[in-house]
Amino acid sequence: MKSALRSCPALGYGAVRVIRNIVFTSILGLSVAAGAVFAETPRILALGDSLTAGYGLPQDEGFVPQLQAWLDKNGAKAQVLNAGVSGDTTAGGAARLEWALASGAEGLIVNLGGNDMLRGLDPSVARANLTQILQAAQDKGLPVLLVGMIAPSNYGADYKTEFEAIFPELSAQFNTLLLPVYFAPIAAQDGGIDPTFMQDDGIHPNAEGVLRVVAAMGPKVLELLAQTGG
């Protein structure tokens, strides 16, 4: 376009410069507007372990893609960021929170504790790590949806009671939203988990299981988005 303007005898240098500036300003204006639209989309960071990462599932059938699809279908303006790391404990989540938030987020989903429980780690340690995460979120003014876990009875009644109390008590302490039990939507009548909705390892939900979990969690995520102003 610049060479074409220069070849036109009816236009002097001053006119060319004016037109060039108008074109540049228009392009810049469009870029800024596009950036503003993107910035107005609330980003929700999903901090978790393999349940969040989508272990054992095709990329579009994991928790984060399915939650994103649920939000899109329900007209929610949001971007869900996958900060799930398979095998992560609450300690790992606490250690990488600042890094995970470095790209920015307006809300936080915390789904950690399952690996602490599977390893039989002291519930007081999991509580301390989750407290660190929630305190950091509170300091940054981030609303949080805390996802709870239950413990099997084979660790003993005391362990089960202490572990399961972590989530509602911390939710009350930090005034977060709470989904009491991640696996509740795919629970069996005997109190276990329906194998129909699980992968062969018996630990991770299959695509249909994730779909049910997302359907149950979705309204809570809408509440979270409302707290971000989105």
To the query of whether residue 204 is one of the catalytic residues in this protein, the response is: yes
Contact (CB, 8 A) for 230 and 42? yes
Q: What is the 3-state secondary structure (H, E, C) of the chain?
A: CHHHHHCCCCCCHHHHHHHHHHHHHHHHHHHHHHHHHHHCCCEEEEEECHHHHCCCCCHHHCHHHHHHHHHHHCCCCCEEEEEECCCCCHHHHHHHHHHHCCCCCCEEEEECCHHHHHCCCCHHHHHHHHHHHHHHHHHCCCCEEEECCCCCHHHCHHHHHHHHHHHHHHHHHHCCEEECCCCHHHECCCCCECHHHECCCCCCECHHHHHHHHHHHHHHHHHHHHHHCC
To the query of whether residue 3 is one of the catalytic residues in this protein, the response is: no
To the query of whether residue 103 is one of the catalytic residues in this protein, the response is: no
Q: Which of 139, 158, 190, 201 is catalytic?
A: 201
Q: Which of 49, 50, 88, 116 is catalytic?
A: 50
List the catalytic residues. 50, 201, 204
